[in-house]
Amino acid sequence: MDIIELYKHDGEGYNPFLIGSKWQVAQLNYSIDEALESKIRLDVHHFTDEVFLLIAGEATLIAAKIIDRKIVFDIKLMMPGIIYNIPKGTLHNIVLTNGTKVLIIEDANTHLPLPEGDYEFYYFSDVQKAEFMQQVKDVLNK
């Protein structure tokens, strides 16, 4: 008798695999879209938090706030076994290197468009993207 359910995601990119009525568990694996050079925006979830757990590889989690029309970043190189929470209303993104796998727990309706869902995108200007890339590289090179 199999009572315990097993889930595994070996492909590239984002895969929500356990979706309940209120929350979902997903796995984000490296794809070219998750590389630093591919990042053109930040996400924001207006009503719910989002939780990240590094499974394997190297990931950099980025949170940001806009203060006086300037983006201020909080950039962390993720450590395995540490739970990272992005509070609701916080701009964020994640950068993965080849072979990286990250577990994500979030609201089940997060990825529906507003007003049913809970997300929007904030696109970088060219200057903001350059600042973002440099600050992430600085953290990675420490």
Q: What are the tens digits of pLDDT across the range 10-64? A: 999 999 988 888 999 999 999 999 999 999 999 999 999 999 999 999 999 999 9
Query: Is residue 118 situated within a structural domain?
Result: yes
Domain that holds residue 86: 14-140
Q: What is the mean pLDDT of the chain?
A: 93
> Do residues 113 and 121 make contact, with C-beta atoms less than 8 angstroms apart?
no
In a domain, 8, yes or no: no
Taking only the tens place, the pLDDT of each residue in 127-142 is 999 999 999 999 988 8
Residue 36 lies in a domain: yes
Q: Identify whether 3 is part of a domain.
A: no
**CATH no. for residue 64?**
2.60.120.10
Contact by Cβ (8 Å): 110, 104: no
Distance, in Å, from the CA atom of 55 to the CA atom of 57, rounded to the nearest integer, reads 7
Query: pTM of the full predicted structure?
Result: 0.92
Alpha carbons 129 and 49: distance in angstroms, whole number: 24
Q: Does the residue 2 lie in any domain? A: no
- What is the mean predicted confidence (pLDDT) over 108-130? 86
What tokens were used for 140? 């990675």
132 lies in some domain: yes
Task: Examine residue 7 and state whether it is found in any structural domain, yes or no.
Answer: no
Residue 127: inside a domain: yes
Domain total of the chain? 1
